[in-house]
A and B are shown apart, each in its own frame.
Chain A
């Protein structure tokens, strides 16, 4: 009983940390996208993180390049242009950033 609990505890904490981390990242990315692309009638809190940025918001590769520059400065990661087609929602971008940061650690 004791051993598994000891093992699980850090995992749970790490999971909670990751969960909070992605939530914060999602909100911040939504804020960046709203500001950079001058989107109207939406806030970081109301921005649906699963909304398809290309099919629904109309984001194009120049928009993504603009956002990528801000994300590079803020998170210290470089977004490869070849990855742009994969970055179709705020949640996917957030996970992409966290994965890149983790792989640097």
Chain B
């Protein structure tokens, strides 16, 4: 039987032990149905999730809800939207009790006197031209002014096919404002013309992501194995899809056989009672889904499958470390 220590040298074994008992249990929360942008390709609006349920407006109920979530074993709250910063009192309900990550477009600055160390992920969809096409404005100008040098913020750079050859310019801009960046790929749910991935583009973007990680190791939080998995949709010869995805809401998960999955994971609507099927849109084709968190989690929950060769296990460690850094379980 292959054991961890038989595959790793001492430095790698120490890295493994630093993460092996973290036991992260995340769930995702829609904080609001509203947003101050309307981006083409945003699954939340394109799939009508903003209309699934009304928002819960009683902040007291949000506080009680968070307590129940903690009782359920959740130890990481991932806040998405709509735009969570439109409802900071709801965000605070999580932040006061739980390790909390807040996704935002960065147009409204999270007040650091209320949220001193909450990790903030700022969405960015490309250069000024693409941002204007897809989001109606170049958000970087505003978000970078709001968060420059913030040690608890990073950019979530959604790469589109039109960004091929341009990523270095963006990553350079992010480095220059003293922030870090994690790269993910656009899942073009709305089929916006010219923004759907072709096979040759996925090969090219993988190479570009790899070279950005090599060139900017202090700025880019990523791993080459993650690049491989998300661009190919393959892991250890298996294909990503509905029967493999780990990020399905547990009480709604009727799959048989049940794959390795996130324990206790639920994605809640902002009404706090309705559950969404998974971490992204229910209308999305799982076989072409490029959701970054789902692919990271896919690797993470399949730990034992990676205890085969030294390289496989090192790949697993790097992906887990990447996730743990992005959600502040270990330092950058």
Q: Is A105 an interface residue (CB 8 A)?
A: no
Report if B39 contacts A (CB, 8 A). no
Which one, B3, B16, B73, B306, contacts A57 given CB within 8 A? B3
Chain A neighbourhood of B301, CB < 8 A? 60, 62
Known: A55-B17, A57-B304, A81-B73. A62 touches B263 (CB 8 A): yes
With A and B bound together, what is the CA distance between A91 and B230 in angstroms?
40
B21, B260, B261: the one contacting A54 at CB < 8 Å is: B21
Residue of A nearest to B6 (CB): A56
Are A58 and B23 also in contact (CB < 8 A) when A39-B1, A41-B2, A51-B3 are? no
Shortest distance in angstroms between B280's beta carbon and chain A's nearest beta carbon?
21
A61 near B263 (CB under 8 angstroms)?
A: yes
On whether the beta carbons of B73 and A58 are closer than 8 Å, the reply is no
Q: Which residues of B contact A63 (CB under 8 A)?
A: 304
Please, which residues of chain A bring their CB within 8 A of the CB of B306? Answer: 58
For A88, the closest partner residue in chain B by CB is B21
Interface size on A, residues (CB 8 A): 20
How close is A80's CB to chain B, nearest CB, in angstroms? 12
Select A85's contact among B2, B5, B21, beta carbons within 8 Å. Answer: B21
Shortest Cβ distance from A36 into chain B, in angstroms? 11
Q: Closest residue to B260 on the A side, CB-wise?
A: A62
A99 at the interface (CB under 8 A from B): no
Across the interface, do A62 and B261 meet the contact criterion of CB distance under 8 Å?
yes
Q: Contacts A54-B20, A55-B17, A57-B3 hold; do A37 and B304 have CB atoms under 8 A apart? A: yes
Chain A interfacial positions (CB closer than 8 Å to B): 37, 39-42, 47, 51, 54-63, 65, 81, 85
Apart from A37-B304, A40-B1, 8 more pairs, CB < 8 Å: A41-B2, A54-B20, A55-B5, A58-B304, A58-B306, A60-B301, A62-B263, A65-B263
A sample of 22 cross-chain residue pairs with beta-carbon separation below 8 angstroms, ordered by A number, consists of A39-B1, A40-B1, A40-B2, A41-B1, A41-B2, A54-B21, A55-B16, A56-B5, A57-B1, A57-B4, A58-B20, A58-B303, A58-B306, A58-B307, A59-B304, A60-B301, A60-B303, A61-B263, A62-B263, A65-B263, A85-B21, A85-B23
